Structure 1
Amino acid sequence: MIAELGHFALLLAACVALVQAVVPMIGAHRGWSGWMAFASPAATAQFFLTAFSFSALTYAFVVSDFSLKLVVDNSHSLKPMLYKVTGVWGNHEGSMLLWVLILTLYGALAAWFGGNLPPSLKARVLGVQAAVTLAFMAFIIFTSNPFLRLAVPPLDGQDLNPLLQDPGLAFHPPFLYLGYVGLSLTFSFAVAALIEGRVDAAWGGWVRPWTLAAWVFLTIGIALGSWWAYYELGWGGYWFWDPVENASFMPWLLAAALLHSAIVVEKRESLKSWTILLAILAFGFSLIGAFIVRSGVLTSVHAFANDPERGVFILLITGIFMGGALTLFAARAGSMQAKGVFGLLSRESALVANNILLAVSCFVVFVGTVWPLVAEMLFDRKLSVGPPFFDAAFTPFMVLLAIILPIGGLMPWKRAKMGRVMRQLTLPIVATFLVAALIWTFQTDRSILAPIGIALGVWLIAGSLIDLWSRTGRGGVASRARRLWNLPRADWGKTVSHMGLGVTFIGISAMTAWQSEDIRVAQVGETFTVSGYEVTLADVRREPGPNYDSIMADLVVSKNGRQVAILNPEKRNYPVAQMPTTEADIDNGVFRDLYLVIGDPQAGGGWAVRTYIKPFANWVWAGAIIMSLGGFVSLSDRRFRVAPGAARKPGKSGDADPSTVAAE
């Protein structure tokens, strides 16, 4: 009965979405206030109806209602409760219902916190958001119904994919969707502005916090997925340029560019067309990501579905909304005239360069991701584009971006003097070269990646701190320290996020260049040495799990005669799913990770053992956490909640930038 109520609530929510997509738009066109006002209660009702539908599906998983086909296919009575709940979105149908729930959540949030928006703009934003939601509700109802019943329910289910039974991946999809789907609201703002034919500083102020929120959640989601790949897959890596990894990374790059561009719109009323285009493309790449994950056209360990018919439906949604938005953009481009004039050396120019680098790097990732498909379709050749291509083609743009960020942050609006900017950066420049020289001295025959990458990380961190300090004006250290404490939270958020990017640069560079790897067959009781660590295979035993059987190893790690850690990597077998998994065990440290994996027993006796020493591994995810923290700090700035662009006249926007967002 509860499942039927959930299905009915979803159908009713689709009806509300249909009305919400039509009535407020007519009201905005005709100037009918009552019809425009209908958008807010409709968005609220749509959210609560969808939330009830999602709760009904969750209840079915929690109580193991095996009369539902989705529960049978993705759950089991012996599965731990956490994975019963997360099994709701660990499949195609449930994950799409989560997608729609978040779509309605953003629509409801825009209705609740959009009281300062002009009525016509608010009505159009909510109307466009409802149209997008309606499309995905139709997709669920007609192709991916999660409430299908079985005539003869089985006694138990087939279990969830064992790779998904992990805390890291349990929370990865919700955060990723909060970012992916959050970009739908910036898309709605862009289309609404195009319909009205007006993009101004106020619009930039309204769209920035929503873009920032989506970027922050996308950062967290990508970091969780990377962390899961690092310790769960047992391959010793954290990023494989997998098509699904790229599907989330591309919107992240465009969302970062959109943040920078929205700053210029709000502060200087420039780059309007570019900002609108980025808002359209950012959500467009989210839709492309959904297509990649669910169509089966590209193979991935992360893919939810392998169904060409569903892929065609998503492709149709993408074509309708992207084609319609880009057509509208072409028709309205002439009405978005820039007002601010700026020189070649200015903050505006630095932000333009930043946007170009981010957009081109996204295009590089896109080409590498889809090229195997294009080659097979057009040339009947099966190709594989792997990490060597992405590393070689993508890295130069990130290097240039890291160089530009501290310089651009110190440039004033309109015109800048490079000599003055570089004098402020004297200390970061000296620190960067000293660190690079020190690393180069210690490593003689190793890759140049480490000194360059770590130097860029130091450059980003030091440059961000100097940028923050420069905003305190002149005077003594004590007075400047007081002003530093009183700076807007958005300034602090920007600095924290840029520092987080620098920390990630250091982690990636050090781990890639300096890691050690050892793969061997070891006998029980045997000791071997890897990069100064003595590893002893003390024992291998069988251990029962709640819904799996495990072969667990006891590996004792010592250094200079002192025990460092006892690690217990596993080989698990899930009998219901008939699938094995590899569970690495990691001794985490601030400056290195000890990463051990137990493999299969060998014919001649002994066990396959893989040992990795990974310097600065945790700095990769620490940087992502710091970037996200900076985003949250910026979102807490009161001016984001009251949309300062609406209350400030454009003529005063050329002053120093006191509210630059975290991703600038």
Structure 2
Amino acid sequence: MIGELGSFALVLASFCAVISFIPIALGAAKQNQFWARLWKPAMLVTFFGFTAALLLLGYAFLTNDFSIVYVANHSNRSLPDFYKVSAIWGSHEGSMLLWIWTICAWSLCYGIFSRDEANFKSNVFAAMLGIIGLLGLFLIFTSNPFARNLPFYPLDGKDLNPILQDIGMIFHPPLLFLGYAGLALVFCLGIAGLVKGKLLSQEVSSLTTVSVITWLFLTAGNMLGSWWAYNELGWGGWWFWDPVENSSFIPWLLMTGQLHALLLLRYNQKLLRTVIACSIFGFAFCLIGTFIVRSGVIQSVHAFASDPNRGNFLLCILALIVLPAIFYFATKFNKVSEPKDSSFTIAEISVIFGVLLLVFSSLCILFGTLYPLIYQAVWNGSLSIGAPYFNSIFVPMVVLAAILISAAQLRYSRWPIWAGVVCWSIAIACYCGFMTANNSPVYTALGVFSASAIVLSGICRIIQYKNQINWFALVAHLGIAVSILGVVGDTQYQHEAVVRMGPGYGRPLGDLIFVYDRTAKVDYPSFYADEGHVMVLNDEEEVLTELYPQRQTFKSNGMQMTAAGISHGFFRDLYVSMGNKLSSTDYLVRLSIKPLVSWIWLGGCLMLLSAIFFFVRRRKNV
């Protein structure tokens, strides 16, 4: 019965969205209030329909209803309840349902809390219902999470993928989906502004608020995904430039660019066209990322599905949503209202170059992500674009971004202060790059220069203008500097060795000694494991900490996983992971000393914290 009720709720909600968005759009165009305000009942029916479907799917997981294919494939009776809940979005069908529901939730919140003009809101909801309807049809016809196993179904399920049985995977997907749903609302606000040809101050305020919250969710989602990869996958890295990772990073870059463009739009209506373009292409790249993740065109630990038919359906949705938006933007470009005064201050020029830099970075990453797929489709060959390409593009971008950030923060300062910031930044960079032991003096110097310039210019800004500071921007930029230092510390100063170890083995690494003491057998409800006991000693052979890496075997499917033993520290992490078993007692073991790696996520936390200053300042101005 749960499956039938869930399918009914999906059909009701999806078709309500599909059949209502055209009358609402026409009503808004013709100023017909009856049809224009139809979005209220349509949105309520759509929201409650998808909410009912999501709750019913959760109930099916909690009650072990293995007559539903999706539940049988991604759960079992011994799975803890909190993982059963997270299994809802553990694969393609459920995660798609969650994404559509978050779009509905965003829409309802906007309808309740925004004070935008009625006709503007009608245009926003017409576009939102169209998006929800198309995605709902995709779910019904290609990815129904309530499909049945009848008449025969298993007594127990296959289990949730072991790599998803982690706290990071409980929160990482919902945060990203909330960000993606925010991109859909930003897209619709941009389309409504395009229809109107301008944005009033209240509409700019709504767009800014939605954009900041969307940026927060994307930041949190990317940060938590990186943290999960570092802690769970056992390879010791935190970013692989994987196509799926890039698919979430590109929209973040575009949203960051849009936030900077909104700085000018809020005060003098400049860059309205740029804001609308970022709104359209941010969601367009989100849909492209959805196609990459769910079509099977790439193989990734993050990918959800491998059905080409779903990919074709997603391409159709992409075309139906994005191509008309781009065409409409092109035809309305010259009619979008912008001030005739084309003069810009130094600060505004810095913002404009910053936006262009972020957009260009997005395009470079998109090219590196899609070109191997295009090459394979057109020339039927195999081509790989890896970290060297992305690093060679992104490192100069980071340096340029740091220079622009510093210029913006020093915009009211006199030239001696500018000279002091530049000289000190170069001096610190040269010392770290060429006077310390690191993997690449050039990359180290560039990274340290970027972080130093941002921090020093921010300090000068605080000292000179205590009462005229945009703390949202200042703290966010400080977070970027801290993350840059974390990246430099981990990539340029880490010590790593992959060695054979067993009881009694010791290995010096850096200023430490790793001693493999023993291996123990441990048993948990869902897996059993060989657990290593590794002691970390200083040069005086005093025990600093003890690490317990595991080689896990899951009982439900026999899948083996590596769980690293990690000692987290403010200045460095100690990281040990167990690889393949080489003999009855010995394993292939990865030993790592990772300076400042935790600063990568500390910087992300500062970026999230910066939003508090935005909303506090916003409340004071109300």
Aligned to 2:484: 505
Larger mean Cα displacement after TM superposition, 446-455 or 567-576: 446-455
Q: Distance in 2 between matches of 1:323 and 1:465?
A: 45
Q: 1:555 to 1:34 in 2, by over 3 A?
A: same
| 1:511–1:614 Cα contact (<8 Å) kept | yes
Structure 2 gaps, min length 5: none
Residue in 2 that maps onto 1:658: none
- Quick check: 1:268–1:340 contact (8 Å CA) kept in 2? no
Q: Does 1:452 align with 2:451?
A: no
Q: Given the superposition, is the C-alpha separation of residues 242 and 446 from structure 1 closer, same or farther in structure 2, using an over 3 Å criterion?
A: closer
Change (3 A) 1:344 1:190: closer
Counterparts of 1:337 and 1:181, CA distance in 2: 28
When residues 80 and 640 of structure 1 are mapped into structure 2, their CA distance, relative to the original with a 3 A threshold, is farther
Match of 1:129 in 2: 128
* 1:513 Cα offset (Å): 0.5
Whether contact under 8 Å (2:16, 2:46) holds in the other structure is yes
Give 1:637 deviation, angstroms.
3.6
Shifted more, 601-610 versus 240-249: the winner is 601-610
What's 1:572 paired with? 552
Q: Residue 181 of structure 1: SS of its match in structure 2?
A: helix
Aligned residues: 619
Range 191-200 or range 563-572, more displaced: 191-200
Q: Tell me the residue number matched to 1:85.
A: 85
Matching residue of 2:562 = 582
Q: 1:440 to 1:580 in 2, by over 3 A?
A: same
**Residues 1:279 and 2:279 are matched in the alignment:** yes
Partners of 1:609 and 1:546 lie apart in 2 by 26
CA apart distance, 1:528: 1.7
Residues 578-657 of structure 1: pairs in structure 2 closer than 5 A: 578-603=558-583, 606-639=586-619
Q: Which moved more, 1:245-254 or 1:524-533?
A: 524-533
Distance in 1 (CA, whole Å) between partners of 2:88 and 2:33 is: 40
Determine the structure 2 residue equivalent to 1:478.
none
- Greater mean alpha carbon deviation, residues 43-52 or residues 253-262: 43-52
Deviation (angstroms), 1:4:
2.7
- 1:98 deviates by 0.3
User: Under a length normalisation based on structure 1, what TM-score does the superposition of the two structures give?
Assistant: 0.89
Q: Do 1:44 and 1:111's aligned partners in 2 also have CA atoms closer than 8 Å?
A: no
Quick check: 1:153 aligned with 2:133? no
Change (3 A) 1:94 1:339: same
Q: 2:428 maps to what in 1? A: 435
Partner-residue secondary structure (3-state), 2:189 = helix
Task: Give the aligned residue type for 2:237.
Answer: G
Taking the aligned partners of 1:614 and 1:307, their CA distance within structure 2 comes to 39
Identify the residue that residue 555 of structure 1 maps to in structure 2. 534
1:453 shift after superposition: 1.0
Range with bigger deviation, 221-230 or 572-581: 572-581
SS of equivalent to 2:212: helix
Q: Encode CA deviations 1:304-343: one digit per residue, 9 max, x unaligned.
A: 0001100111111111111010011011111114206354
2:318 paired residue number: 318
Q: Assess, with a 3 A threshold, how the Cα gap between structure 1 residues 340 and 536 changes in structure 2: closer, same or farther.
A: farther
CA contact (8 A) 1:161 1:577 kept: no
- Structure of higher RCO (CA pairs closer than 8 Å, 6+ residues apart): 1
Counterpart Cα distance in 1 of 2:22 and 2:16? 10
Q: Is the 8 A contact 1:468 1:492 kept in 2?
A: no
Alignment RMSD, CA only? 2.0
Q: Does the aligned pair in 2 maintain the 1:200–1:266 contact within 8 Å?
A: no
SS at 2:385's partner residue? coil
Deviation (angstroms), 1:34: 3.4
Residues 438 and 444 of structure 2 are in contact (CA less than 8 Å); yes or no, is this contact kept in structure 1? no
Per-residue CA shift, 1:472-526, capped at 9, x if unaligned? 4xxxxxxxxxx47xx7xxx222211111011001100111100111111123112
Distance across 2 between alignment mates of 1:95 and 1:17: 20
Relative to structure 1, the CA distance from residue 344 to residue 208 in structure 2 (aligned partners, 3 Å threshold; closer, same or farther) is closer
Q: Which structure 2 residues correspond to residues 339-488 of structure 1 after superposition, within 5 A? A: 339=339, 341-343=341-343, 345-411=345-411, 420=413, 422-425=415-418, 428-440=421-433, 442-443=435-436, 446-448=439-441, 449-472=443-466, 483=467
Return the letter of the residue paired with 1:123: S
Secondary structure in 1 matching 2:89: coil
1:532 aligns with 2:511: yes
Deviation, 1:14, is 1.7
Answer yes or no: is 1:206 the counterpart of 2:214: no
Amino acid at match of 1:595: Y
Contact 1:80 1:546 in 2 (8 A): no
Partner of residue 645, structure 1: none
Amino acid at match of 2:458: S
The 5 A counterparts of 1:29-108 are 29-108=29-108
Question: Are 2:494 and 1:515 aligned?
Answer: yes
1:442-478: CA deviation from partner (whole Å, max 9, x where unpaired): 4157422223212311221232343345444xxxxxx
Distance, in Å, in 2 between the alignment partners of 1:53 and 1:466 is 54
Structure 1 residues 37 and 380: CA distance shift in structure 2, 3 A:
closer
CA contact (8 A) 1:554 1:567 kept: yes
1:299 to 1:446, Cα distance in 2 relative to 1, 3 A? closer
**Contact in 1 for aligned 2:440/2:492 (Cα 8 Å):** yes
Task: Give distance in 2, aligned partners of 1:94 and 1:604.
Answer: 42
Q: Distance in 2 between matches of 1:42 and 1:614?
A: 53
Native 8 Å contact 2:197 2:337 kept in 1: no
Q: Secondary structure at the match of 2:301?
A: coil
Work out the CA distance in 1 between the residues paired with 2:361 and 2:214: 20
In the alignment, residue 496 of structure 1 is paired with which amino acid?
Answer: V
Deviation at 1:278, TM superposition (A): 1.1
Query: Is the 1:203–1:266 Cα contact (8 Å) retained in structure 2?
Result: no
Residue 577 (structure 1) shift? 2.4
Matches within 5 A, 1:292-307: 292-307=292-307
Write the distance in 2 (CA, Å) between the matches of 1:50 and 1:468: 48
